Structure 1
């Protein structure tokens, strides 16, 4: 596999191999060494045309811990701000003998566009409303660890049949798409719920759609809360107070969620909107997801380099 553009491109064995690698790299990251220079001499350029904290820093740490040279492109001060096309920008950077491009772009399909025209490995770090595959992979790793009581491989094998609810702005969410495709491949039962205007065309996923948050939470083994996509919507999302009341996870509706159920969120979290502070600080796995993101992205770099 040359690139990672979509979770639709991965088979069950691919997911399992990535989980196993991520488990190894997490153990490494928890040690004092933190480095395994198996990709020494390789170079990574992070081309983020959208704002990011967790994903960008996670990829940078991942690359450096594998021994790569990692450089970030700042579009606001690059020739892209002068009108240079995405393809010309990438081709010029590729001429510097770069091995990996990590691309986040506001246009859906941008990562695939670059991958088809570049000899370097391309990793999709989020393209418009399309996909964010490494977020889904780290979510999968996090769930596997908990489902397996610390044994990620055993937990991974148990995902088939698990009930996973995804709640929020399904229509605009690249995290939702990547998670849906991955979980469907692995045989999970998915339930979707969100504001009606954010559930447009949700039937294309072939997943159950809940009528209210109680139905979405009942019997769930895990729930993935999504960030409100205000930057991609045009007054389509309810106001924060209204959203929190009907679609957020809080002290008044957390009782509908089974005690064993996991609570995930890709971040950044709008406290008091998608999740109350009480739920976020006592029940959610947000910080664990962030930690697992570094290990999983190391696994992705390693897998692509070996192909």
Structure 2
């Protein structure tokens, strides 16, 4: 399905921290092919026919789980969905034993989401230890990483610049602001790695309670590609893209904000605020959106400014690309 001549070599996709530009470009080009497939009347290809994809979501999810399930089915894979509420975990079974149960049922690819950082890595290590041949794809773990979300964001941004040939080179010296609950966000961490690798200039903005000092320490070693702001104006001035993040109340263990109203006044994205950005600025959000908090409703629904619906559509194409690449590598 992909036009690239490169060979995919990774068995697992757990983090984007060490991804090369060539690997990112390979994903982008493969996703273009599947984006074309999704626009056809027959939206299915036999790329993973005979393989079994298991969605093991130990944490609630609607968008990501549905996106992976649809992506697997569009590739003609068989799909098994895991539900923790009706699983043997409630009877004392360990997560690794649960994974081995699905392995025994024929799983080829395990898509794993968990509230604790490191769970997908632990399962991948166990699958490698027993030489199962199973691939693990991290669908979000704790505050650590969310590779597929960052990759669909990268794909969405690149397609704005060049719909037919998205590549990392398009982002060289582009200014991208990430605004919101950065301390709790696995999406932010994965986006930082992928956008910096692509050559973009990344600006983080949030109140100090949601953007700790250690991010500034990290930025100082980023070769001038990552910047930290505790006020929004400098972060979004002349920005090409603004990515807002959801306030993750479920992960906040203390009162980190005076009020949602005050947060919106200081960091919410409004039409007035966007006037300091580039004239053709676009806005992204991984969803779900707290309307009137991270984003004003008129911005969220604005057809010329918002890329949120495009992100959802691109999510299926990018996840098809990821499943295809690790699934096809099993045949080599």
TM-score (normalised: structure 1): 0.96
Q: Which piece of structure 1 moves more, 123-132 or 254-263? A: 254-263
Q: Deviations over 1:268-304 (max 9, x none)?
A: 0000000010010012111100000000000001111
Report how far residue 204 of structure 1 moved.
Answer: 4.4
Q: Could you tell me whether the CA contact under 8 Å between 1:64 and 1:70 is conserved in 2?
A: yes
* CA-based RMSD: 1.2
Q: Deviations over 1:169-220 (max 9, x none)?
A: 1111000000001111111111110011111121243121124211111011
| Residue correspondences, number | 305
**Off by >3 Å, runs of 4+ in structure 1:** none
2:218 paired residue number: 205
2:295 paired residue number: 275
Q: How does 1:277-296 map to 2 (within 5 A)?
A: 277-282=297-302, 283-296=305-318
**Matched position secondary structure for 1:59:** helix
Q: Of residues 172, 175, 178 in structure 1, which corresponds to 2:190?
A: 178
1:63 paired residue number: 72
**Matched position secondary structure for 2:53:** strand
Q: Of residues 261, 265, 268 in structure 2, which corresponds to 1:241?
A: 261
Q: Could you tell me whether the CA contact under 8 Å between 1:124 and 1:132 is conserved in 2?
A: yes
Where structure 2 has 5 or more consecutive residues not aligned to the other structure, the ranges are 1-9, 220-225
2:4 paired residue number: none
Q: How far apart in 2 are the matches of 1:251 and 1:140? A: 24
Where structure 1 has 5 or more consecutive residues not aligned to the other structure, the ranges are none
Q: Of residues 107, 130, 139 in structure 1, which corresponds to 2:144?
A: 130
Q: How far apart in 2 are the matches of 1:248 and 1:181? A: 24
Q: Which piece of structure 1 moves more, 110-119 or 289-298? A: 110-119
Report how far residue 67 of structure 1 moved.
Answer: 0.6
Q: Could you tell me whether the CA contact under 8 Å between 2:21 and 2:197 is conserved in 1?
A: yes
Q: How far apart in 1 are the matches of 2:258 and 2:119? A: 29
Q: Of residues 177, 181, 195 in structure 2, which corresponds to 1:169?
A: 181
Q: Of residues 230, 242, 254 in structure 2, which corresponds to 1:223?
A: 242
After superposition, the Cα gap between the structure-2 partners of 1:291 and 1:205, relative to the gap in structure 1 and judged at 3 Å, is farther
Q: Could you tell me whether the CA contact under 8 Å between 1:50 and 1:106 is conserved in 2?
A: yes
2:289 corresponds to 1:297 = no
Report how far residue 242 of structure 1 moved.
Answer: 1.2
Q: How does 1:244-259 map to 2 (within 5 A)?
A: 244-259=264-279
Q: How far apart in 1 are the matches of 2:153 and 2:136? A: 21
2:203 paired residue number: 191
TM-score (normalised: structure 2): 0.89
2:5 paired residue number: none
Q: How far apart in 1 are the matches of 2:46 and 2:172? A: 35
